[in-house]
Amino acid sequence: MTKKRAQLARLNIYLPDAAIRRQVKLSAARQDISISEYCLRAITNQLIKDGGRALSREGGNRRGGAVETARRFQAEKFGTRVFSVSSAQLIREARERKNTR
């Protein structure tokens, strides 16, 4: 396990039916983010509404850092090229290829 991975906390949730899971997956895909990121945003927003405060980077909110890291990676590897396919579509296609093997 990498050091960065070891710093993450895991949370399992149980949903009352598969329809909610599908809705979460679709919403995350529409926003071109992972299900984990989608759930993290939802939980963080609810915590703020409940009177909590936004988490600091040290407290677990890595969204800003992750986005910045992704932007640096894109700039280094791809320069100014723009892709017409979303990352969600690329992930979907890779999973489909994997499942057909």
Residue of 56 and 8 predicted with greater confidence: 8
In angstroms, the CA 3 to CA 5 distance is 5
DSSP per residue, 60-94: T--HHHHHHHHHHHHHHHHTT---SS-HHHHHHHH
Do residues 63 and 69 touch, judged by C-beta distance below 8 A? no
pLDDT in tens, 45-84: 888 888 876 555 444 445 566 777 777 777 777 777 777 7
pTM of the model: 0.48
Interatomic CA distance for residues 60 and 55, integer angstroms: 6
Residue 27 near residue 12, CB atoms below 8 Å: no
Q: Is the pLDDT of residue 92 over 50?
A: yes
Q: Domain locations in the chain?
A: 13-99
